[in-house]
Amino acid sequence: MTTARRKPYGVKGAPYAFLLPATVLFSSFFALPIGYAVWLSFHKVHVFGLGLGKGARSEVWAGVENYTDALTDSELLDGALRVLGYGCIVVPVMLGLALLFALMLDAEKVRLAPFTRLAIFLPYAVPGVVAALLWGFLYLPDVSPFSFVLEKLGLPQPDLLDGGPLYLALSNIAVWGGTGFNMIVIYTSLRAVPAEVYEAAKLDGATPLQIALRIKIPMVASSLVLTFFFSIIATLQVFNEPTTLKPLTNSVSTTWSPLMKVYRDAFGTGDIHQAAAEAVIIALATLVLSFGFLRAANRRDKQEAAG
């Protein structure tokens, strides 16, 4: 007599049970806040009379009015231009140094390679606010040891927190903190390249410089695309550095970057609906730029593979 095998209770629902905690966290702390921000961006507060008393303020449908105001706001547009100039300095310098350090560490007969990797990566472990405060005091002429040395040598002391040098000061903080992470990503890809590839190149008479330019860099192209993608997102979302340096200089306004404009409108002037619309615009701009860059990179890879 045979008996039918009974399936263990709950086997079919086990995958959903494992996914449930992640789904709840994703919905609670990611999807719902985004949806609420989008909902706020299509509303505004309507004030009746002097705005005093019960029912004097009500939330009404605004349509695309908040988006129209944001896209025609000169402060938001000026902040976007400043971030564009900031990114033109940060992204190429940071990725160039990360690639250079990765190639140097991957070279043969490198001394103290583990210590060097740690020294380059360590600034990334420093919180952004702490790094901005550290460099901010190094920039101040009254407390900076660099200004003291320049004064003793009779050399001019540039004010890095005013005018054009401010871009260099802010970019230096980002480069100092982000180069190590990008270097680790590129260096990991270099270590994954089979040693036989380099040995074959050496047998063909290739120099170390030729190996780096013609073999190593093309082999880590995907890592370069990834780090460039992350750098674009971080640049568009710059907030910590200018906000932290703002008390130290009058050159940084409350709307220096788009995210600072969002913060001021939400918590300074109390216009949370306008701030929500600006945040949605920044998110969409980041999505469009990132998607466009990834699509262009994928198209280029397909053309190279077909060729």
184-234 pLDDT, tens per residue? 999 999 998 888 888 888 888 888 889 888 899 998 988 898 899 889 888
pLDDT above 80: residue 111: no
Domain boundaries defined on the chain: 73-306
**Single-letter code of the amino acid located at 59:** E
What pLDDT score does 9 carry? 52
What pLDDT score does 7 carry? 54
Mean pLDDT for all residues in the chain? 86
307: confidence class by pLDDT, cuts 50, 70, 90: low
Q: Is 204 exposed, middle or buried (0-12, 13-18, 19+ CB in 10 A)?
A: exposed
Phi first, then psi: what are they for 58, rounded to 5°? -145, 150
Range in 4-13, 22-31, 131-140, 144-153 with the lowest mean pLDDT: 4-13
- The CATH number of 73-306 is 1.10.3720.10
CB 44 within 8 Å of CB 60? yes
State the Cα–Cα distance between residues 80 and 127, nearest whole angstrom: 24
State the Cα–Cα distance between residues 69 and 266, nearest whole angstrom: 15
CB 172 within 8 Å of CB 239? no
pLDDT above 70: residue 60: yes
| Strand, coil or helix: 60 | strand
pTM of the model: 0.85
| Strand, coil or helix: 285 | helix
HSE, side-chain direction, 13 A CA sphere, residue 192? 12
pLDDT above 60: residue 5: no
